[in-house]
Amino acid sequence: MKIAVLCENAPSSPEFEAEHGLSFYVETPTRRFLFDFGATSVFLRNAERLGVDVSAVDAAFLSHGHRDHGGGLATFFEKNRVAPVYASEKALQSYYSLRPSGEYADIGVRVAPENEARIVRTPTGGTFALDAETILFSDAPSDPPEFRSEGNATLFERFELAPSNGAGKRQEKSVSDGKDSENGEDKKAGERRQLPLFAPKTANLPHNADFNNERVFEYRPDRFLHEQHLIATTETGRKILFVGCAHRGIVSAMTRATEILGAAPDVAIGGFHLSIPSRGVPISERTLDAIAERLRAWPTQYFTGHCSGRVAFERVRRTLGARIAYFASGTCFEI
């Protein structure tokens, strides 16, 4: 299996471009695919520098619905006219990042209507096998607290609150299929919130609610139901785990992959979310050390970059040593 890093936060040499994003090209004797697309068209220009023909890719995968992984989709569709893109059924909804200014910036992925038919929507909360050598899974639970990345604290979903219920109160909006919010999630009993219909913005509203043309929205922590991981098999039978950002946790992703395979993957590659990208700092040393100790228990080789961050990587390498390496735009592996 050949793996080329088409996009990452830093270049491996001056000839390659970089951006805050992630994209891999993967080639086996039977399949050529992309895993993520970066934020723009950087992945395509780096592919051309590496001699990778994106038009010949026969499948592509979107790890989750954030623009730094799916912003290059439009470029991919222009260059490649036939390959399906496998994405979670929730990946093309709206997701938000809380900026230091207090603004909730939309970081969701958009697909033009003419390309909708190219999207294969994979189920949430389960596994999806393309064939015996390629398995997608989205049922890794969130990491337990000791492994949980603080880097997720600025990431949100948005829910619309409905107009008055007739008693001068706002309720969370229900749509016709019996689900709530623009993200279409079932609500559990007792979770509805009632808010004053004509209250001023500062009165009795959630701290993160806002008004938009008389519509009221509430922002809640992203549950990452749109995230999926990929297990691919090399020609020699080695199992490779690809993750985009591992928002639900790299420990959780590794645990679930091990359950699926009956043994730990031979290699895990991707962003492990060991930093807080919006602030440019690593997560706590205590959490980093706990994650590193747990990763060491598996006989896996790790390759990371993007949302892991160099500072956090150096801390984790104290525990994992040569079993973890950092990649950059233009880096190539043969596994």
Last residue of a domain, one of 166, 188, 221: 221
- Phi, psi for 132 (deg, rounded to 5): -65, -20
Tell whether 138 and 157 lie within a shared domain.
no
Q: Mean of the per-residue pLDDT values for the chain? A: 88
pLDDT (mean) for 157-162: 87
Residues 23, 140 within the same domain = yes
Q: Which of 30-34, 135-139, 201-205, 313-317 is least confident?
A: 201-205
Q: What does the pLDDT read at residue 216?
A: 87
Task: Give Cα separations from 291 to 83, 285, 316 (angstroms).
Answer: 36, 10, 8
Across the range 7-24, mean pLDDT stands at: 98
- Residue 21 shares a structural domain with residue 143: yes
User: Number of folded domains in the chain?
Assistant: 2
pLDDT at residue 29, rounded to an integer: 86
DSSP 304-327: E-GGG-HHHHHHHHHHHGGGEEE-
At 207, the pLDDT band (50, 70, 90 cuts) reads: low
pLDDT band at 172 (very low <50, low <70, confident <90, very high): low
Q: Average pLDDT of 225-250?
A: 97
* Residue 10's CATH number: 3.60.15.10
Domain carrying residue 12: 2-151+224-334
Same domain, 253 and 207: no
In a shared domain, residues 174 and 188: yes
Q: What global pTM score does this model have?
A: 0.87
Same domain (yes/no): 119, 162? no
55 shares its domain with 11: yes
Q: What is the pLDDT of residues 84-104, one digit of tens each?
A: 999 999 999 999 999 889 999
Residues 132, 200, single domain; the answer is no
User: Rounded to the nearest 10 degrees, how much is the dihedral formed by the CA atoms of 88, 91, 93, 96?
Assistant: 150
Predicted pLDDT of residue 212 = 60
Percent with pLDDT over 90 in the chain: 79
Picking from 182, 199, 221, the residue at the C-terminal end of a domain is 221
Using CA atoms, how far apart are residues 31 and 255, in angstroms rounded to an integer? Answer: 26
Tokens of 221: 């922590």
Closest listed residue to residue 32, CA positions, set 12, 62, 52: 52
For residue range 246-276, list pLDDT tens digits in order.
999 999 999 999 999 999 999 999 999 999 9
Neighbours of 75 (CB within 10 A): 18
pLDDT tens-digit readout, 35-86: 999 999 999 999 999 999 999 999 999 999 999 999 999 999 999 999 999 9
Domain boundary among 189, 206, 221: 221
Q: What is the model's pLDDT at position 132?
A: 87
Interatomic CA distance for residues 208 and 219, integer angstroms = 6
Are both 162 and 131 inside the same structural domain? no
**261 close to 239: Cβ distance less than 8 angstroms:** yes
Beta bridge partners of 211: 216
The answer, yes or no, to whether residue 283 has pLDDT greater than 90, is yes
Shared domain for 301 and 160, answered yes or no, is no
Of 65-79, 189-203, 267-281, 312-326, which gets the smallest average pLDDT? 189-203
pLDDT of 203 > 50? The answer is no
**From the CB of residue 79, how many other CB atoms can be counted at a distance below 10 Å?**
19
Residues 58 and 76 in one domain: yes
Residues 53 and 177 in one domain: no
Round to the nearest angstrom and report the end-to-end CA distance of the chain.
5
